């Protein structure tokens, strides 16, 4: 996952169409400064996907969100209700895997929500890393929104679905963000696996 990201969580009739449609729109994605697009598909909620677009520059984010690329994309994949879109910057990344034996990709648990203090969340997470490791947490990414300093998107990679289920049912006290996921305009926790990644270069 790269440092600047635009992410959206929505339902589509057929998630398997998403990678193909993204590949066919590489030129338009290059025009808005995207360099990677990562797609996760939910393992517990059929039709739900999390699409994260990594972009080069922070400045044009507002223009990107108004771009026809997004609306055409939502139309193409069959989205009926335009979803909330998170735009932010990576503020912390924690890797608890063995560098010599990272293993296959795990299960992603993602939350878009609001917290009281992002720096406080980061501090408590670091103090709880031993407990995170025991719970099966392999990686944690914390993104802070551009337009609201209290809004975050937090992704965690967990070793397997059983560990992910236990984590969701009984999260660590340091994972305070999980309590507010799914309230107000925020979508519920996303649980899924890697589906596809599109690489975009200047020639696209």
HEC-encoded secondary structure of 15-69: CCHHHHHHHHCHHHHHHCCEEEEEEEEECCCCCEEEEEEEECCCCCHHHHHCCHH
In angstroms, the CA 123 to CA 42 distance is 29
Whether residues 163 and 94 fall in one domain: yes
Using one digit for the tens of pLDDT, what is the confidence trace for 115-143? Answer: 999 999 999 999 999 999 999 999 999 99
Q: What is the reported pLDDT for 85?
A: 83
146 found inside a domain = yes
Whether residues 157 and 120 fall in one domain: yes
Tell me if 6 sits within 8 A of 87, measured CB to CB. yes
31 found inside a domain = yes
95 found inside a domain = yes
Q: Whose CA is closest to 137, among 123, 145, 119, 125?
A: 125
The strand pairing partners of 166, in sequence order, are none
170 found inside a domain = yes
Give me the chain's average pLDDT, please: 88
Task: Write the CA distances from 108 to 34, 120, 189, integer angstroms.
Answer: 22, 23, 10
135 found inside a domain = yes
Whether residues 95 and 182 fall in one domain: yes
204 found inside a domain = no
Whether residues 69 and 106 fall in one domain: no
pTM comes to 0.90
Total number of domains in the chain? 2
Using one digit for the tens of pLDDT, what is the confidence trace for 12-40? Answer: 889 998 888 888 888 888 887 889 999 99
Whether residues 77 and 94 fall in one domain: no
Share of the chain above pLDDT 90, in %: 58
Full domain range(s) for residue 173 = 90-187
Task: Check which CATH number belongs to the domain holding 182 and give it.
Answer: 3.30.70.100
Tell me if 37 sits within 8 A of 200, measured CB to CB. yes
Whether residues 146 and 78 fall in one domain: no
The strand pairing partners of 6, in sequence order, are 53, 87
Whether residues 95 and 161 fall in one domain: yes
100 found inside a domain = yes
Using one digit for the tens of pLDDT, what is the confidence trace for 100-118? Answer: 776 778 999 999 999 999 9
Whether residues 143 and 74 fall in one domain: no
């Amino acid at each position: 996952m790269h440092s600047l990201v635009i992410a959206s969580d929505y339902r589509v009739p057929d998630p398997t169409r998403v990678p193909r449609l993204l590949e066919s729109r590489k030129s338009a994605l290059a025009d808005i400064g995207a360099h990677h697009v990562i797609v996760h598909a939910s393992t517990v909620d059929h039709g739900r996907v999390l699409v994260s677009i990594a972009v080069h520059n922070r400045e044009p984010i507002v223009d990107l969100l108004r771009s026809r690329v997004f609306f055409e994309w939502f139309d193409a994949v069959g989205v009926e209700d335009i979803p909330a879109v998170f735009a932010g910057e990576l503020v912390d990344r924690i890797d608890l895997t063995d560098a010599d034996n990272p293993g296959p990709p795990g299960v992603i648990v993602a939350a878009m929500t609001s917290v009281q203090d992002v720096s406080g969340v980061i501090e408590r997470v670091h103090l709880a890393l031993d407990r995170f490791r025991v719970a099966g947490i392999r990686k944690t990414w914390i993104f802070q929104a551009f337009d609201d300093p209290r809004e975050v998107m937090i992704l965690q990679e967990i070793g397997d679905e059983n560990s992910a289920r236990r984590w969701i049912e009984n999260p660590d006290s340091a994972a305070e963000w999980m309590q507010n996921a799914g309230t107000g305009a925020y979508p519920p926790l996303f649980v899924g696996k890697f589906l596809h990644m599109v690489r975009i270069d200047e020639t696209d």
